[in-house]
Structure 1
Amino acid sequence: MNSVSSLGPLRPSPLVEQATHHLREQITGGNWPVGTRIPGETTLARTLGVGRSTVREAIRALAALGLLQSRQGAGVFVIADHAAEDWPTRLRRASVADVYEVRMLIEVQAARLAALRRTDEDLTALDAALTARRAAGAGGDTEFVDADIALHAAVVAAAHNPVLTDLFGEFAPALRQGLVDLVSLLGLRRDDPHHGDATHDALVRAVVAGDAESAGRAAQAELEATLARLRTA
Structure 2
Amino acid sequence: MGSTVKRDDIPERPAVTGKLSDRVYDHVLSQITVGIYPVNSRLPPETRLADQLGVSRPVVREALMRLRDDGVVASRQGAGSFVMRRPAADVYNYAPVGSIADIQRCFVFRIGIEGEAAALAARDHDPEGLRRIRDAIAALDQVIADAALGVEEDIAFHRSVAEATGNRFFAATLAAIQSQVSVGITLNRNLSLIQPRDRLLRGQEEHRAVFDAIASRDEARAREAMRSHIENARKRVFEGG
Category of TM-score, reference length = shorter chain: 0.5 to 0.7
* Long gaps (5+) in structure 2: 1-98
SS at 1:95 equivalent = helix
Report if the CA contact (8 A) 2:188-2:233 is conserved: no
Check conservation: 1:188, 1:195, Cα contact below 8 A.
Answer: no
Q: Is the alpha carbon distance of 1:147 and 1:189 closer, same or farther for their aligned partners in structure 2, counting shifts above 3 Å?
A: farther
1:175 equivalent in structure 2: 181
Given the alignment, which residue of 198, 214, 232 partners 2:205? 198
**CA contact 1:97–1:230 (8 Å) conserved in 2:** no
Question: What is the distance in 2 between the residues matched to 1:205 and 1:156?
Answer: 15
1:149 aligned partner: 155
Higher alpha-carbon Rg: 1
Q: Structure 1 pair 212/198, CA: closer, same or farther in 2 (3 Å)?
A: same
Q: Does 1:220 align with 2:206?
A: no
Number of aligned residue pairs: give it: 141
SS in 1 for 2:188: helix
Do 2:121 and 2:166's aligned partners in 1 also have CA atoms closer than 8 Å?
Answer: yes
2:137–2:207: 8 Å Cα contact kept in structure 1?
yes
CA distance in 1, matches of 2:139, 2:109: 26
| Corresponding residue for residue 231 of structure 1 | 238
Per-residue CA deviation, residues 50-92 of structure 1 (Å, 9 max, x unaligned), is: xxxxxxxxxxxxxxxxxxxxxxxxxxxxxxxxxxxxxxxxxx8
Q: Are 1:160 and 2:166 counterparts?
A: yes
CA distance in 2: counterparts of 1:139 and 1:172, whole angstroms: 24
Q: Give the Å deviation of 1:175.
A: 2.0
2:124 to 95, 117, 120: 117
CA RMSD of aligned residues (A): 2.2
> Contact 1:103–1:171 at 8 Å: present in 2 too?
no
TM-score between the two structures when normalised by the length of structure 2: 0.53
Q: Matched residues in 1 for 2:125 and 2:101: separation?
A: 32
Q: Identity over aligned residues, as a percent?
A: 24
- Return the alpha-carbon distance in structure 2 between the equivalents of residues 182 and 126 of structure 1: 21
Q: Comparing 168-177 with 120-129, which one deviates more in the overlay?
A: 168-177
Structure 2 distance, partners of 1:113, 1:188, is 35
Cα distance, 1:179 vs. partner? 2.5
Read off the aligned partner of 1:160 and give its amino acid letter. G
Which aligned runs of 4 or more in structure 1 are off by greater than 4 angstroms? 186-189
Q: Which runs of 5+ in 1 are unaligned?
A: 1-91
